[in-house]
Amino acid sequence: MLKVRVSYRNVNPVTMLKNILTPALSKLVETDMHEQSKEIIISFSEKLSYEQYASIHRFLILLAKQVNGRIFDKGCLLGYLKDGTPAYIVTNWNEWSRFLHEEKLKAAQGEYVHAYANGELLDSGILLEYELSAEGETFAVRSCTLLTSDGEQTIYGDALLLEAEQRF
């Protein structure tokens, strides 16, 4: 199990937890209150999907904000950045997330993909190239060029989702 400590001051975090801990999230995390040390221990599996870790990440950020607390996540090593820097559930999360997405897109080049915006399928084809948001910004695919049955098509958007189709 991975563990995160969230410290808090002079608030009762029980109400805050009830307000932000959704049923789906309750299935992913365990919470343990330590009133003496004014800490909440959040535990979760080390074998979750990226989307599940992203949900836990958002939950931890919101929880710390709600209780005016600090997050200690050194017990939640998820991986490493390209330069070998450790990445945790909060510390270096954005850089790690971007690294994973970039590598996934590199692997998808030359593959058949579906391009979505806001859940709507825009087009499908072989991924030729793509443009990402700038470093330091929230990761997003801003455009992609696909080779479709109608030729090359470039699609633009604020946050395109590219999903590779598993073709065998």
Please indicate, yes or no, if residue 150 is contained in any of the structural domains.
yes
Give residue 165's pLDDT. 84
8 A C-beta contact, residue 162 and residue 115 = yes
Give residue 168's pLDDT. 53
3-state helix, strand, coil in the chain (%, to 5): 25, 40, 30
Give residue 167's pLDDT. 61
Residue 91, both tokens: 């510390």
| Residues in contact with 157: Cβ distance below 8 Å, sequence separation at least 6, in sequence order | 117, 122, 141, 142, 143
Residue 11 pLDDT > 80, yes or no? no
Calpha distance 130→112 (Å, rounded): 14
**Is 117 in the same domain as 148?**
yes
Calpha distance 62→49 (Å, rounded): 20
- How many domains, the chain? 2
- Residue 94's identity, in one-letter code, is N
Domain that holds residue 131: 110-164
Question: Which comes out higher in pLDDT, residue 13 or 21?
Answer: 21
CA distance to 148, 161, 167, per residue, from 119 (Å):
20, 8, 22
Calpha distance 151→162 (Å, rounded): 18
Domain end (from 98, 118, 135): 98
Give residue 13's pLDDT. 82
Question: Which comes out higher in pLDDT, residue 13 or 52?
Answer: 52
Please indicate, yes or no, if residue 104 is contained in any of the structural domains.
no
Residue 163: count other Cβ atoms within 10 Å of its Cβ. Answer: 13
Residue-averaged pLDDT of the chain: 92
CA distance to 11, 29, 53, 63, 79, per residue, from 50 (Å):
31, 15, 5, 20, 12
Residue 150: pLDDT band (50, 70, 90) is very high
Instruction: Tell me how many degrees the CA angle 22-98-68 measures, rounded to the nearest 5.
Output: 45
CB burial of residue 93 (10 Å; 0-12, 13-18, 19+):
buried
Q: What is the CATH number of the domain that holds 17?
A: 3.30.70
**Is 13 in the same domain as 55?**
yes
